[in-house]
Structure 1
Amino acid sequence: MVPNNKVRAKLKAISLGFMCLCSFEIAAQSGWTKEKTEGFYQLGFQTMKSDNYYALNGEKLETNQFSQQSLVFYGEYGVTDKFNIIANWPLQTWNGFETTETVGGLGDLRLEFKHALLKKYFPLSISVAPELPIGKANHFAQSIVNDFEQINLPSGDGEFNVWSTLASSFALPNIPFYGNIFTSYNFRTEYEGISFSDQFALGAEIGYHISGFVWVNARLNALKSVDNIAVATDFVRGDGSEYTSYSFGAAVPVYKNIQVNLNYRNFNDWIYSRKNIYSSGVFSLGVYYEYKPKK
């Protein structure tokens, strides 16, 4: 389906709103920190396809199918028992519509500095995570229908922004069950003279260890823009994006400290209604390694 002029114009308000979502939900925020020299390192692949775009006013539009695949590195390292460094980096992100070529590139690097405020009885942490705009902020995909048309599908948003997060966790003493809750604030800046609205996020996660073998989890996350964005000032930066998402995952050991995890994520309007995003299921497959020093 080739969109009409009205839909094509509204398409220009979309692309990066969803790109940011895929990169940052590899691991949920928690109140725990790694012990000194402990590490967690994951390489994950995520994929989604959707022709359902939710405009800034919440209107659902049917467009050409948009697809995105990402190869993402995620790592945590315990500098001390109470201070961790976390990296979340899309090593390559591929974007395209069914009527365009697919373009790819390096994504923005998010570095998180996490400190445990409380650790033993009531795990509570605070973190600050600058996102460095090292990805391709402008990457045009040529139309395969009309040679004179193209659309910007970048792998990075071009702006410097900072996430601040407060998270808490709990674990039951005699049952392999845990929970996490968090709230975050994203201070956004600008790109090429255009300022963007800050964002507010919240989330919760529960998990259970089945028969001492498989970890399963469920998550609920929500994102809302601080300002009410009525008109898209830029068509690739996700300004005004809002959503509620839910996900289910499982992790299975394959060899010593190496595990494989599967995850499915989708979007709805439970807390915040969908705005300025493509909405569909996101499937991810990851392989991770946990390092624990011998004591």
Structure 2
Amino acid sequence: MFKINWFGKFNHLKALSLGLILLTLATSVNAQSGWTKAKGEGFYQLSYQSLVSSDYFTLSGEQLETNKFSQQSLVIYSEYGITDRFTIIANWPIQTWNGFESTETVSGLGDLKIELKHAILKKYLPLSISITPEIPIGRANHYAQSKVNDFEQINLPSGDGEFNVWGTLATSFALPNAPFYGSIFGTYNYRTQYNDIQFSDQIGFGAEIGYQIAGKVWVNTKLNALKSVDEVTTVSDFVRGDGTAYTSYSFGASTPVYKGINVSLSYRNFTDWIFARENIYSSGVISVGLFYQVKPLSK
């Protein structure tokens, strides 16, 4: 493992990239299920995510040690049942903070995902398909000043500047006599370009299982994997996450705390189990959130 100081003797890397990927937001694959909300049913969550890492994996999978990088994000996530078969979902990092230990911290809005999910099958084997445009409203270029040299800066954007569309197929099951469920999904990310740089599409898949303890606490574990469709061999679009690959696992729990308000906690990390880590900062991601569910009115 090599040691790199982004503002030291490896300035040629900084000159090529001037940035880093948006790990927890721009390239992460969220868990998906085959269920849609009932008409009028809602789910609303506010969460805080944090990653701190000095371990960067290059496009060739080589592990490098850099100055410590940190990213924190405040994310709004919501689902609403338009009909029993159509659910609209919003996922928006309303603030993201990025910085190295050798730079100032910069912040800004993230890109907005709007997902429309349709239940193909609903009763016996829940099966859904969804289309999710990702709208580049985040700050695509945001330079953080070096604390070491006043004349140096690095690009730490809160958005990737690119319009892309995710397509996802998911199925789920729940046991009739036990509080246990499972889901699997596959997803394809159609990517476009930013500043005349054409990005590679991405393919991903994942699985989740969950169980309720003592009628109160839901626990779950998830496995996700993501990889670029094309081989990416240059770092010309490193700042946009092109060529990123990983396998991630997570553990989570949630419990009600007050009048329909629930608290959730999760831990996520990255491995090379399915897809080896490439173009990614790898470390544990801690997430804590509050969510509220609205049940439809009885007919």
Superposition TM-score tier, normalisation by shorter sequence: over 0.9
- CA displacement at 1:23 relative to structure 2: 6.4
- Structure 2: 5+ residue runs without aligned partners? none
- SS class of match (1:16): coil
Matching of residue 219 in structure 1 with residue 219 in structure 2: no
Matching of residue 83 in structure 1 with residue 95 in structure 2: no
C-alpha RMSD of matched pairs (Å): 1.6
Which of the residues 1, 6, 11 maps onto 2:10?
Answer: 6
The whole-number CA distance in structure 2 between the counterparts of 1:185 and 1:30 is 15
Equivalent in the alignment of 1:16: 21
CA deviation profile, 1:160-196 (whole Å, cap 9, x unmatched): 0000000000001101000010000000000011100
The whole-number CA distance in structure 1 between the counterparts of 2:12 and 2:48 is 29
Contact 1:130 1:162 in 2 (8 A): yes
Change (3 A) 1:159 1:228: same
CA deviation profile, 1:242-290 (whole Å, cap 9, x unmatched): 0000000000100122100000000000000000000000000000000
Which of the residues 182, 203, 227 maps onto 2:185?
Answer: 182
The whole-number CA distance in structure 1 between the counterparts of 2:26 and 2:269 is 11
Equivalent in the alignment of 2:239: 236
- CA displacement at 1:21 relative to structure 2: 5.2
- CA displacement at 1:7 relative to structure 2: 7.3
Of 234-243 and 15-24, deviating more is: 15-24
Contact 2:27 2:241 in 1 (8 A): no
The whole-number CA distance in structure 2 between the counterparts of 1:260 and 1:95 is 25
- CA displacement at 1:17 relative to structure 2: 4.3
Identity %: 66
CA deviation profile, 1:108-130 (whole Å, cap 9, x unmatched): 00000000000000000000000
- SS class of match (1:155): coil
Matching of residue 199 in structure 1 with residue 205 in structure 2: no
Change (3 A) 1:215 1:22: farther
The whole-number CA distance in structure 2 between the counterparts of 1:15 and 1:39 is 35
**Superposition TM-score, scaled by structure 1 size:** 0.96
- SS class of match (1:5): coil
Change (3 A) 1:7 1:213: farther
Matching of residue 140 in structure 1 with residue 143 in structure 2: yes
Contact 2:29 2:204 in 1 (8 A): no
CA deviation profile, 1:203-250 (whole Å, cap 9, x unmatched): 000000001010000000000000000111223100000000000000
Where does 1:119-130 land on structure 2 (aligned, <5 Å)?
A: 119-130=122-133
Could you tell me which amino acid in structure 1 is paired with residue 207 of structure 2?
Answer: A
Equivalent in the alignment of 1:289: 292
- SS class of match (1:284): strand
- Structure 1: 5+ residue runs without aligned partners? none
Contact 1:39 1:77 in 2 (8 A): yes
Contact 2:26 2:159 in 1 (8 A): no
Equivalent in the alignment of 1:247: 250
Which of the residues 95, 109, 114 maps onto 1:111?
Answer: 114
Change (3 A) 1:249 1:14: farther
- SS class of match (2:159): coil
- SS class of match (2:96): strand
Aligned residues: 293
The whole-number CA distance in structure 1 between the counterparts of 2:235 and 2:104 is 24
The whole-number CA distance in structure 2 between the counterparts of 1:107 and 1:17 is 10
Matching of residue 31 in structure 1 with residue 34 in structure 2: yes
The whole-number CA distance in structure 1 between the counterparts of 2:261 and 2:48 is 16
Could you tell me which amino acid in structure 2 is paired with residue 94 of structure 1?
Answer: W
Matching of residue 168 in structure 1 with residue 171 in structure 2: yes
Contact 1:253 1:260 in 2 (8 A): yes
